[in-house]
Amino acid sequence: MKSLRCRLDSYENIGFDMDGTLYPEREFIAQVYQPIAEQLGNYCKAPADAIYANLLNRWEEKGSSYPHLFEEVLAFYQVPFAEKIINQCLAIYRSYEPQLKLADSIIELLNDIRKSKQLFLVTDGNPALQRAKYRALGLDRWFKENEVIFTGDYGASHYKPNVAILHRFEFLEGEDVRRRSIYIGDREIDRQFAHLAGMDFLHVDSFDQFWS
């Protein structure tokens, strides 16, 4: 952690992604798939715990951005595709109130850099759900309202790597300012976002190793 702190010393503005960067996204997935598995159990001839394992395995293989995971699970259990069932799963997913917690090492770093650095957060996804995660993690302790962008508020066309949304951060205006900025994320799309914005990028390629 000391080496990470030293690496960030040369930057004035430090930005973060949220899912997979400030907490391991699997923690959220492991929670939200439980009620979804129970819902699917009303249609699939299988116990909820087997459906839950199926969902988790597919997520591990294909990731959160894969759009057909629920459809594949229905096909696996030979349930005819029904938009109603998919919408029920999505409604559970988007309205879920997770129980999440920041790692002590992340709290330590945020407490430290908040004293002298400008922080900001940019996160994609359903805005109601992303705000629920934001609240659960207690991120309002370090990121003020004008330092957070939920890109979903403006539609999927504003998701990363689109950098047009950054104009909402007055403190990031100007190429010189961007060159003194860094964005920390876990996905290739985060890297593209930082590059297009003219910022440096720090990759969280393994959550546990990065924050240890």
Q: What is the pLDDT of residue 2?
A: 76
One domain for residues 89 and 183? no
One domain for residues 47 and 19? no
Q: What residues make up the domain containing 37?
A: 26-95
Q: Which of 1 and 176 is assigned the larger pLDDT?
A: 176
Residue 124: pLDDT band with limits 50, 70, 90: very high
Phi first, then psi, for residue 202 (nearest 5°) are -125, 125
One domain for residues 142 and 202? yes
Distance CA 40, CA 89 (A): 8
Q: How many CB atoms lie within 10 A of CB 165?
A: 18
Q: What is the pLDDT of residue 180?
A: 96
What CATH number is attached to the domain comprising 123? Answer: 3.40.50.1000
Question: Which of 95, 114, 134 is the C-terminal boundary of a domain?
Answer: 95
Distance CA 73, CA 41 (A): 11
One domain for residues 108 and 144? yes
CA distance readout (Å), 171 to 32, 94, 142, 165 = 36, 31, 16, 13
Each residue of 128-174: pLDDT tens digit?
Answer: 999 999 999 999 999 999 999 999 999 999 999 999 999 999 999 99
Total structural domains in the chain? 2
Question: Which of 76, 95, 114 is the C-terminal boundary of a domain?
Answer: 95
One domain for residues 67 and 104? no
For residues 14-40, average pLDDT: 98
One domain for residues 111 and 196? yes
Q: How many residues does the chain have?
A: 212
Residue 65: pLDDT band with limits 50, 70, 90: confident
Each residue of 68-107: pLDDT tens digit?
Answer: 999 999 999 999 888 999 999 999 999 999 999 999 999 9
One domain for residues 68 and 91? yes
For residues 35-45, average pLDDT: 96
For residues 24-37, average pLDDT: 98
180 burial (CB, 10 Å; 0-12 / 13-18 / 19+) is middle
For residues 182-210, average pLDDT: 96
203 burial (CB, 10 Å; 0-12 / 13-18 / 19+) is middle
One domain for residues 84 and 185? no
Q: What is the pLDDT of residue 91?
A: 97
**What proportion of the chain, given as a percentage, has pLDDT over 70?**
100
One domain for residues 60 and 138? no
Question: Which of 44, 75, 95 is the C-terminal boundary of a domain?
Answer: 95
One domain for residues 76 and 114? no
Q: Please tell me whether residue 142 adopts helix, strand or coil conformation.
A: coil
What CATH number is attached to the domain comprising 89? Answer: 1.10.150
One domain for residues 152 and 77? no
Q: Quick one: DSSP state of residue 24?
A: -
One domain for residues 9 and 34? no
